[in-house]
Amino acid sequence: MHIAALTAQIEIAGAQSLKDKRQVVRSVLDTIRAKFNVSAAEVDDLDLRQKASLGFAVVSNDAAFIDQVLEKVVDTLEREPRCVVIDYQRENL
């Protein structure tokens, strides 16, 4: 069994309030969960209006599959027009 986690820090420049931020974060997380069947949550920077840290986890019996899924998650985040990916880290558990 292989487990990997991805943490991504994003900036939401258009967010004027925490409500705006949460709307974008919720939409992004729901989209990624539905497309890639991963666990996803906002894990840090909860009270910052224009930044968010998102966490994703994947479990599989194939390490190559995990690599593909996490690459697609990053690509999806980078193509999202409402936010900018500042940084991301991947960790094998």
Q: Residue 84 sits in a domain of what CATH number?
A: 3.30.70.1120
Inform me whether the pLDDT recorded for 93 exceeds 90. no
Average pLDDT over residues 15-42: 94
What is the extent of the structural domain holding 57?
2-92
Q: Of 80, 75, 72, nearest to 52 (Cα)?
A: 80
pLDDT at 38: 96
Inform me whether the pLDDT recorded for 14 exceeds 90. no
Inform me whether the pLDDT recorded for 55 exceeds 90. yes
**Beta strands at 84-92 and 2-11: parallel, antiparallel or unpaired:** antiparallel
pLDDT at 13: 87
Q: Indicate yes or no: pTM above 0.85.
A: yes
pLDDT at 47: 87
Rounded CA-CA distance 7/61 in Å is: 21
Looking at the structure of the chain, the number of domains it has is: 1
Check if the beta carbon of residue 6 is closer than 8 Å to that of residue 88. yes
Higher local confidence (pLDDT), 15 or 41: 41
Inform me whether the pLDDT recorded for 5 exceeds 90. yes
Where do we find the tokens 């999202």? 80
